[in-house]
Amino acid sequence: MQIRKSDHFQRLNIKELLGIRVEKICSEQGKVLLSNGTSLNYDGLVLATGARPSSLNIPGDDLPGVFTLRTYDDAKAIVRRCDQVSSAVTVGGGLIALKTAAALKERGVQKVTVVIKSRQILSRQLDPLSAEIVKRALEKLELQFVFGVNPIAFEGDRRRGLSEIILEDGSRLSAQLAVVGKGVTPNQELALAVGGKQNRGLLVEPFLSIGRENIFAAGDVIEVEDPITGEFTTSALWSLASVQGRVAGYNALAAMRGKPLQRYIPRLTRMNATEFNRIPVVSVGHIDAQGEDVEIFKGGPSLKSPCAHRYLVFKGPRLVGAALVGDVDQAGPYANLIIRGLPVRHYAKDLLRGNVLKTILTRLT
Ligand SMILES: Cc1cc2nc3c(=O)[nH]c(=O)nc-3n(C[C@H](O)[C@H](O)[C@H](O)COP(=O)(O)OP(=O)(O)OC[C@H]3O[C@@H](n4cnc5c(N)ncnc54)[C@H](O)[C@@H]3O)c2cc1C
């Protein structure tokens, strides 16, 4: 699967070394040791090692038939297995577990169950009612849901692979395939070994330096501040990884040449647009904001869709979060209001009706 033309890097005069890992950074010598036994010298280094799926660390999680989903190879292995099974389980209430469950059903797996520890799906992205609308849309695909429990073991044998999943309430689900989607762990070991610091992800300074000379980092491996929630978090968004990569690459070169560095300007880390069983869903910003100055406006349906629901979160005068289900036409303008932090609480009812552009044009300009 290629997203760039095969000569993309060549044209940029970038040499690709595929299938080779960096095993160690020797920062004193400005050198990285590679898995093929050779080494490379550097003047500037950008770590963009991404993240790996978090493991459940429970018995049987290495059985054939138990998967996580990160790479194209993972996807191909799941597809190969799913053609031979009648029941499957996905674990987690987030986008990966839900999208995978729907895809397995679409590929003809008879029984697909989603096991979710929390009480609703997409709890970071959606309010309970929006989540319920999405869940019902997925139930129409005949997906089943089990809430409030985690798996505690996968059972089966090495030859035939997974056969059962045991849940923490003692119940059992028969399944020959499981896909675990319980978040990711940043690949920060290389950086930590040279003195990088970690919290949820690798800590970086505003110029995306890890605090060691000429070493910068970008993408899923780092944590950054979300300008709306104020929290420091990993982002797991392609768009942010790209922007950060550009800043880190620029700064690695600028530092070498003694030029001024670029500051990374924090961007929204919570922004998702997707669809479930033909129902579009958008979630932007701080949906689960708390505090005395937080006000919620919710409503629907709209003329456009009988299952449409809007959920707007205001903190003081600012719109800080929007969840849209069924009718997402105004998603861009809502996101824009959130990012710009304009004082729009006064127009909350207009905004809830979906008159976002009109409100911006007539009242704020
Ligand atoms: C199933 C799935 C669906 C997604 N869908 C979306 C979406 O719709 N929209 C969106 O914005 N984001 C999406 N994401 C998230 C997005 O893919 C990531 O945020 C993005 O890929 C992060 O880019 P990255 O370069 O930081 O890390 P990665 O893309 O993970 O790349 C890291 C690379 O570094 C390599 N590496 C790691 N360690 C070493 C080492 N020691 N030496 C050499 N190489 C190393 C890895 O092999 C990998 O190739 C999705 C992710 C998944 C898994």
Q: Which of 9, 15, 49 to mutate to test the pocket of ligand 1 (most atoms within 8 A of CB)?
A: 49
Tens-digit pLDDT profile for residues 305-350: 667 899 999 999 999 999 999 989 889 999 999 998 989 999 999 8
Mean pLDDT of 234-238: 93
Residue of the CA atom closest to atom 26 of ligand 1: 219
Question: What is the C-alpha separation between 162 and 178, in angstroms, rounded?
Answer: 8
Instruction: Tell me which of 237 and 213 has the higher pLDDT.
Output: 237
Question: What is the C-alpha separation between 113 and 170, in angstroms, rounded?
Answer: 16
**The pLDDT of residue 364:** 62
Residue of the CA atom closest to atom 18 of ligand 1: 238
Per-residue confidence band for 125, with pLDDT thresholds at 50, 70 and 90 = very high
Per-residue confidence band for 365, with pLDDT thresholds at 50, 70 and 90 = low
Shortest-distance atom of ligand 1 to CA 244: 26
Per-residue confidence band for 304, with pLDDT thresholds at 50, 70 and 90 = low
**The pLDDT of residue 303:** 60
**The pLDDT of residue 356:** 76
Residue of the CA atom closest to atom 35 of ligand 1: 49
> Under a CB-based contact definition with an 8 Å cutoff, are residues 272 and 94 in contact?
no
Segment holding 336, helix H or strand E: helix 331-340
Q: If you measure from the C-alpha of residue 186 to the centroid of ligand 1, how many angstroms do you get, rounded to a whole number?
A: 10
Task: Say whether pLDDT at 1 is over 80.
Answer: no
Per-residue confidence band for 353, with pLDDT thresholds at 50, 70 and 90 = confident
Q: If you measure from the C-alpha of residue 313 to the centroid of ligand 1, how many angstroms do you get, rounded to a whole number?
A: 30
Tens-digit pLDDT profile for residues 45-62: 999 999 999 999 999 999
113-117, 123-127, 300-304: lowest mean pLDDT where? 300-304
Shortest-distance atom of ligand 1 to CA 218: 26
**The pLDDT of residue 13:** 94
> Under a CB-based contact definition with an 8 Å cutoff, are residues 270 and 287 in contact?
yes
Structural domains of the chain in order of their starting residue, each with its CATH number:
8-52+186-256 (3.50.50.60), 66-184 (3.50.50.60), 278-363 (3.30.390.30)
Task: Say whether pLDDT at 183 is over 90.
Answer: yes
Q: If you measure from the C-alpha of residue 217 to the centroid of ligand 1, how many angstroms do you get, rounded to a whole number?
A: 13
Residue of the CA atom closest to atom 28 of ligand 1: 50
Mean pLDDT of 177-182: 97
As a whole number, the mean pLDDT across the chain is: 94
Q: If you measure from the C-alpha of residue 195 to the centroid of ligand 1, how many angstroms do you get, rounded to a whole number?
A: 23
**The pLDDT of residue 300:** 73
Q: If you measure from the C-alpha of residue 57 to the centroid of ligand 1, how many angstroms do you get, rounded to a whole number?
A: 22
Task: Say whether pLDDT at 363 is over 70.
Answer: no
**The pLDDT of residue 43:** 95
Residue of the CA atom closest to atom 45 of ligand 1: 49
The residues lining ligand 1, judged by C-beta closer than 6 Å to any ligand atom, are 21-22, 48-50, 69-70, 96, 187, 190, 219-221, 236-239, 241
Q: Which of 18, 79, 96, 220 to mutate to test the pocket of ligand 1 (most atoms within 8 A of CB)?
A: 220
**The pLDDT of residue 66:** 98
Mean pLDDT of 134-157: 97
Shortest-distance atom of ligand 1 to CA 219: 26
Per-residue confidence band for 233, with pLDDT thresholds at 50, 70 and 90 = very high
Question: What is the C-alpha separation between 82 and 363, in angstroms, rounded?
Answer: 54
Tens-digit pLDDT profile for residues 264-283: 999 999 999 999 999 999 99
Per-residue confidence band for 251, with pLDDT thresholds at 50, 70 and 90 = very high
Q: Which residues sit opposite 313 in a β-bridge?
A: 296, 321
Residue whose C-alpha is closest to residue 54's, from 104, 105, 96: 96
Segment holding 130, helix H or strand E: helix 128-139
Mean pLDDT of 111-129: 95
**The pLDDT of residue 330:** 85
Residue of the CA atom closest to atom 3 of ligand 1: 96
Residue of the CA atom closest to atom 29 of ligand 1: 50
Task: Say whether pLDDT at 197 is over 70.
Answer: yes
